């Protein structure tokens, strides 16, 4: 009836020429469509969109011409955008074309077969979703993968319980607390856990430490009867959130900053993970000292952190910025108005000039340049420019101007043939970027299959648990 009504309204727009062109677009005879064969394809597509995915799928059995039209990827892209929770169509396409095979990602993707998004829509509709726990190095973000964003925050599992207690015990307490706060039974959904970057070296002891942490995560969750677990390091998830599988992730954590080279989703510890002994806590501490020197009274470190997030930025040219009027104010809840001036950019400058905070370490730009040079010298097979995408991650990485400053400094440090093509990307989803990388995985049409480990697989003696 809907088709007939629309046809009555639109029939005056149809003529023999439009019918001929429509038939050519379909690549199939439309004679089996009866009186609707003169209806333009764009009108038919709008009708199918209004009908919805279930009714559109039913029409594929009516005739060959409609079956061809209903299979059009553009229609099912619309349904995926409209009927499923996804940050963007770009993320969905990246996920289904690049990540669907699971970890480890194939080194060479080769010739892709034609994707049917009608099939993908059906598969994604049946994905169970998951609990996402982004461990973090400062605080943890957790939530249901079908939600638009994390539903809560807590202390990271690195800080749970007595520091002297075994890792397993602390993790068990941490995960039990998260599930209790979410009011979810552990045995109902798979879980994706983001592992903070730690134990950076390629030494045997560092490898053993990484393996032990991952095994403790799996063991504690499986003892809680979680059906399947996907444990991925934080830097890799941040890279996925930026719709990349290879690049360098700069994760400004709570205590330290890590510069992590990643190729096809795998951290290249052999190439080298650079570590700078400056993190978000150091920046917050420096701002606190400057506020105290200026007799700005505050009640808690949380207020200082809020002012850092709301007022601070990175100067493109530090010396030039010193001569400018940079005063700005912000009202902190329950504490009134605070006005900052040069502290706004001096706080973040210690990332590039650590000596300003009394820290003996290389600057952030120098550590990134060193990582880039190592990646260039490694001459790994495949795309020779894989390391020229630099993705920032972490709450402090969201400071305005940071990406632009890093690009400027790298241009000055690196030879032109190495710097050419380098692009620095700010955190795609702010401080929650790794959580959204996990969300991309958890909504895949193939999830949880190739991404997850089950208890039975975990108990196999030769299971390899690596980054």
| pLDDT tens sequence across 437-446 | 999 999 999 9
In a domain, 65, yes or no: yes
The per-residue pLDDT for 368 is 98
228 with 136, same domain?
yes
**How many Å apart are CA 371 and CA 363, to the nearest integer?**
13
Lowest mean pLDDT among 19-23, 133-137, 351-355, 404-408: 19-23
Q: Are residues 308 and 197 in the same domain?
A: no
Question: How do residues 89-122 score in pLDDT, each as one tens digit?
Answer: 888 889 998 999 888 888 766 555 678 999 999 9
Question: Where do we find the tokens 């011409």?
Answer: 65
CATH of the domain at 140: 3.30.420.40
Checking if the pLDDT of 61 tops 90, the result is: no
- Does residue 197 belong to any structural domain of this protein? yes
Position 16 scores a pLDDT of 40
DSSP letter (8 states) at residue 166: -
The tally of CA atoms less than 13 A away on the side-chain side of residue 338 is 29
Whether residue 254 sits in one domain with residue 181: no
Residues 410 and 449 in one domain: no
pLDDT of residue 109: 60
150 to 146, 158, 275, 394: CA distances (angstroms): 10, 19, 28, 15
159 vs 66, higher pLDDT:
66
Lowest mean pLDDT among 36-45, 127-136, 322-331, 371-380: 36-45
The confidence score (pLDDT) of residue 110 equals 56
Closest C-alpha among 150, 154, 123, 124 to residue 136: 154
DSSP summary character for residue 366: H
pLDDT value at residue 4: 62
Q: Is residue 436 part of a domain?
A: yes
User: What are the pLDDT digits (tens) for 230-261?
Assistant: 999 999 999 999 999 999 999 999 999 999 99
Contact 53, 59 (CB under 8 A): no
pLDDT band at residue 22, thresholds of 50, 70 and 90?
very low
Residue 78 lies in a domain: no
Q: Identify whether residues 215 and 251 lie together within a single domain.
A: no
Query: What is the mean pLDDT of the segment spanning 132-151?
Result: 89
Whether 34 has a pLDDT exceeding 80, the answer reads no
Let me know if residue 223 belongs to a domain. yes
247, 202, 196: which is closest to 217 by C-alpha? Answer: 196
Q: Are 224 and 185 in contact (CB under 8 A)?
A: no
Taking the model in full, what pTM does it have?
A: 0.88
Question: Is residue 258 assigned to a domain?
Answer: yes
| pLDDT bracket for residue 29 (50, 70, 90) | low
The pLDDT of residue 30: 57
Portion of the chain with pLDDT greater than 70, in percent? 88
**5 or 152: whose pLDDT is higher?**
152
Average pLDDT over all residues of the chain:
88
Helix, strand or coil, per DSSP, at residue 197: coil
Query: Are 226 and 248 in the same domain?
Result: no
- 347-364 average pLDDT score: 96
Q: What's the pLDDT score for residue 281?
A: 94
> How many distinct structural domains can be found in the chain?
3
Distance CA 93, CA 99 (A): 10
The Cα-based distances of 197 to 14, 56, 178, 453, 467 in angstroms read 62, 46, 21, 20, 10
Claim to verify: residue 269 and residue 314 sit in the same structural domain: yes
299 located within any domain: yes
More confident of the two residues 10 and 213: 213
List the structure tokens of 327: 């005063």
For 40-157, strand residue ranges (E) read: 131-134, 139-144, 152-155
Question: Does residue 82 form part of some domain?
Answer: no
How many CB atoms are closer than 10 A to CB 201? 14
Q: Are residues 56 and 96 in the same domain?
A: no
Q: For residue 259, what are the domain limits?
A: 244-427
Same domain, 275 and 335: yes
Say if residue 421 is in the same domain as residue 449.
no
Which residue bears the tokens 């995985």?
441
Rg of the chain over CA atoms, in angstroms? Answer: 26
On the question of pLDDT at 220 being above 90, the answer is yes
Residues 400 and 267 in one domain: yes
**Residue 104 has what pLDDT?**
82
Domain harbouring 276, CATH code: 3.30.420.570
The predicted pLDDT at position 462 comes to 47
On whether both 349 and 281 belong to a single domain, the answer is yes
DSSP letter, residue 245: S
């Amino acid at each position: 009836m809907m088709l007939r009504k629309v046809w009555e309204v639109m029939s005056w727009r149809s003529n023999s020429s439009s019918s001929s062109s429509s038939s050519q677009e379909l690549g199939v005879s439309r004679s089996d469509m009866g009186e609707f064969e003169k209806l333009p394809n764009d009108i038919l597509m709008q009708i199918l969109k209004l009908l919805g995915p279930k009714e559109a799928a039913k029409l594929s059995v009516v005739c060959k011409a409609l079956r061809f039209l209903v299979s059009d990827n553009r229609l099912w892209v619309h349904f995926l955008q409209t009927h499923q929770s996804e940050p963007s169509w770009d993320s969905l396409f990246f996920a289904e074309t690049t990540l669907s095979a699971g970890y480890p990602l194939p080194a060479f993707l080769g010739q892709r077969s034609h994707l049917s998004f009608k099939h993908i829509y059906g598969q994604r509709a049946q994905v169970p979703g998951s609990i996402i726990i982004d461990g973090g190095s400062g605080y943890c973000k957790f939530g249901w993968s079908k939600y638009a964003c994390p539903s809560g925050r807590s202390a990271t599992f690195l800080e749970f319980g007595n520091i002297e207690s075994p890792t397993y015990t602390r993790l068990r307490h941490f995960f039990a607390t998260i599930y209790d706060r979410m009011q979810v039974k552990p045995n109902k959904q798979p879980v994706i856990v983001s592992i903070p970057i730690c134990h950076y070296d390629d030494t045997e002891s560092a490898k053993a430490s990484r393996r032990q942490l991952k095994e403790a995560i799996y063991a504690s969750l499986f003892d809680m009867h979680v059906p399947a677990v996907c444990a991925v390091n934080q830097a890799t998830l941040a890279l996925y959130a930026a719709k990349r599988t290879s690049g360098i992730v700069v994760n400004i954590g709570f205590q330290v900053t890590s510069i992590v080279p990643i190729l096809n989703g795998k951290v290249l510890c052999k190439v080298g993970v650079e570590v700078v002994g400056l993190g978000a806590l150091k920046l917050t501490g420096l701002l606190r000292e400057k506020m105290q020197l200026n007799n700005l009274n505050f009640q808690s470190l949380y207020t200082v952190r809020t002012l850092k997030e709301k007022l601070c930025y990175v100067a493109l040219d530090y010396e030039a910025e010193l001569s400018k009027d940079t005063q700005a104010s912000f009202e902190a809840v329950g504490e009134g108005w605070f006005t900052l001036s040069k502290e706004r950019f001096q706080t973040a400058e210690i990332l590039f000039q650590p000596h300003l905070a009394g820290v003996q370490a290389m600057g952030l730009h120098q550590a990134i340049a060193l990582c880039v040079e190592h990646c260039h010298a490694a001459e790994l097979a495949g795309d020779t420019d894989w390391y020229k995408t630099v993705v920032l991650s972490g709450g402090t990485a969201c400071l305005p101007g940071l990406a632009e400053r890093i690009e400027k400094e790298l241009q000055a440090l690196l030879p032109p043939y190495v710097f050419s093509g380098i692009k620095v990307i700010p955190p795609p989803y702010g401080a929650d970027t790794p959580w959204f990388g996990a969300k991309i995985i958890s909504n895949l049409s193939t999830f949880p299959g190739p991404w997850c480990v089950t208890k039975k697989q975990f108990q196999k003696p030769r299971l390899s648990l690596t980054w």
